[in-house]
Chain A
Amino acid sequence: MENKEQENVVGLVPHRPLGGTGIQVSAMALGGYHLGSATNQQEVNNIVARAMDAGINFFDNAWDYHNGHSEEVVGTALKGKRQQAIVMTKVCTHGRGKDVAMQQLEQSLRRLQTDYLDLWQIHEVIYENDSDLIFRPGGAAEALLQAKQQGKVRAIGFTGHKDPSIHLKMLAQDLAFDTVQMPLNCLDATFRSFETNVLPVAKQRGIGVLGMKSMGGSGEIVVHGAATPEQALRYAMSLPVSSTISGVDSMDVLEQNLAVARGFQPMPAQEMQALREQCKFFASDGRYELYKVTKKYDGEVGREQHGFPTSGELPA
């Protein structure tokens, strides 16, 4: 983007290039996990319609969110709007092979009521040996390539919330990822930082970056007073990313987000630096970035594949 937002009608959420894919995505995306928590299908339909009217075209999801419910409600809400939407979902092999990945892809396509994805990412790359497992012969990396060749997905990437070194291990592999997703917020800037360790590497290679956890995963950054919701979201969206994925489970939250995202203007560099300084104390031990320092945000399927206790047995 460098950092000229694409020409856009004032009042709409700006669009930005998704790395080198030729795809344009809105600077804010709707997080699929939270859409699966909305009251009912009608609520999801309303959120999606309102978001699209405001310029949001990018929809995040994952095969294992609410056991498929998240993909189903988004698929239904996008009926008749598929061509205007950029649809992403994630595959949850957690070390299992290509065949499992391809089966999950077919399932995701059915639930999302479409015959192609705009973006397919490997979910939760958070264990030290995940890149070894993904890139072993017959691993999930082969599924990404095959799906792309078959035209079932336009672009491929991966995501994870644990440690920059695990992301860098993935990026060191011999595969041309189109995107990479990571936690990016005003606390991450000074603690085990994806912003300083991974973002520049991705940018340099022209890989589209997707930010998540702009408020610390469950609003910790805001709840504990490190930053206001507006500051937190503006900070994340001002980074050189293609899009910031934000969880929305009600019209109220959507309106709050749109108030920041419509006609978005990035924070000046000095303001970003001031916010980093303001947050430093809260960032320094990871207390509000629990996805990096505990098991709390690590999903059940991955725990099972890696021989870890369940979230019931080991909550954090």
Chain B
Amino acid sequence: MMQTSASSGIPLRQFGNTDANISALGMGGHHLGDAPDEATAMRMVHEAVDGGITFFDNCWEYHLGKSEIWMGKGLKGRRDRVFLMTKVCTHGRDASLALQMLEQSLNRFQTDHLDLWQVHGVAFDNDPDLFIRPNGAAEALLKAKQQGKVRFVGFTGHKHPDIHRKMLNTGFPFDSVQMPLNVFDSQFHSFETQVLPELNKRGIAALGMKPIGGHGEPVSRGVITAQEALRYAMSLPVTTTITGMESLEVLRQNLAIAQGFQPMSHQEMQALRDRVKAQAADGRFELYKMSLKFDNPESRLAHEFPVDMQQVEMKEMIQATKNTGHPFPKIG
């Protein structure tokens, strides 16, 4: 992986085969929406940019748009210094819906273009078929790129390497692919061994997420430290590692790891894999692969899967729609 150093010390890496370079650590948009208030969120974005983070992740459906709005405000006057990504939430629905969501995302961000636009939550076995069908979301990605509204396009999902491979086999020209990459993944339904090498071979930018395994359970249970987990993920041949931070404190911890980052040696990485082998083998710390827990309600509704009324996102949706039973927000 080509790696150059920014003035602040967070390494920059080449975005696939393109001429863009992005920071090796990316700021996750979902957790930004968990910040106590807008002022804190804006301050976090400012400190992140000043600290050398240039990659900003987001998604149309995070916190019903709050994540995009707060990030947009934080990036005011700084938009040119960053590489901005958001995701579209069609979940099998069609191209026109995708383009409507794009306009909404651009409005919330107060920008006229995205650097990267990805299909969100490719998590069900038939999602690749629905994506590539006539009038599917694939057509929206191409159109938005032609119109200059997005520079690059990609997809993301957390469920199974086979589904990612099926997406790659549609033949669609993806610029990037996002996936869970952490030491537990390395030996269970592994994106690291089954998807990452293919991306490197094709020159597609690989974006890692969930470096600590979703909600940080392995850290809270003392199996691994946050520093070990993040360093492992960042040491893989990826363009960036997206991690969630919901407070200035967590942001500063992450900046400290990322600034002046030196990759782990192969021996160090293997030793860590061996150490967590027993806990990795059944997927206990990768619930996003094993359950509906991380599959958002928008996606479940579109696929007619049962929804969990206790889920935070589900409660948000019910509140926002005043329980009309329609997905939020109403588009078109």
Contacts and interface: CB of A to CB of B under 8 A. Distances in A.
B304 interface: yes
B282 A191 contact: no
Contacts of A192: 125
B198 interface: no
A284 B126 contact: yes
B224 to A, nearest CB: 14
B189 to A, nearest CB: 8
Contacts of A284: 125-126, 129
B264 interface: no
A146 B305 CA distance: 44
Interface in B283-321: 283-284, 287, 290-293, 303-306, 308, 310
Contact of B124 (A127, A285, A309): A285
A314 B125 contact: no
Nearest to A132: B281
A307 B282 contact: yes
B110 interface: no
B328 interface: no
Interface residues of A, number: 22
B188 interface: yes
A314 B293 contact: yes
Contact of A127 (B282, B306, B310): B282
A308 B287 CA distance: 9
Nearest to A282: B304
A113 B49 CA distance: 72
B104 interface: no
Interface in B248-298: 279, 281-284, 287, 290-293
Contacts of B279: 307
A287 B305 contact: yes
Interface string A185-213: 00000011000000000000000000000
For the residues of B in contact with A, the DSSP-based class is: loop
A120 B127 CA distance: 40
A101 B304 CA distance: 40
Interface in A256-292: 284-287, 290
A129 B126 contact: no
Contacts of B304: 287
A306 B284 contact: yes
A128 interface: yes
B282 A286 contact: no
A277 to B, nearest CB: 15
Contacts of A316: 291-293, 306, 308
Interface in B180-213: 188-189
Nearest to B291: A295
A133 B310 CA distance: 34
B124 A286 contact: yes
Contacts of A127: 281-283
Contact of B282 (A128, A287, A290): A128
A290 B306 CA distance: 9
A314 to B, nearest CB: 6
A128 B284 contact: no
A138 interface: no
Contacts of B308: 315-316
A308 B289 CA distance: 13
Interface string B118-132: 000000111101000
Contact of A314 (B124, B127, B283, B291): B291
What are the 7 tightest A-B residue pairs by CB atom distance, in nearest-first order? A129-B281, A284-B126, A285-B124, A307-B284, A127-B282, A295-B291, A316-B292
19 contacts: A128-B188, A128-B189, A128-B281, A130-B282, A284-B125, A284-B129, A285-B125, A285-B126, A285-B127, A286-B124, A287-B305, A294-B291, A294-B292, A295-B290, A295-B292, A306-B284, A307-B284, A308-B282, A315-B308
Given A293-B292, A294-B291, A308-B284, 16 more contacts: A127-B281, A127-B282, A128-B189, A129-B282, A192-B125, A286-B124, A286-B125, A287-B304, A290-B306, A295-B290, A295-B291, A308-B290, A314-B293, A315-B308, A316-B291, A316-B306
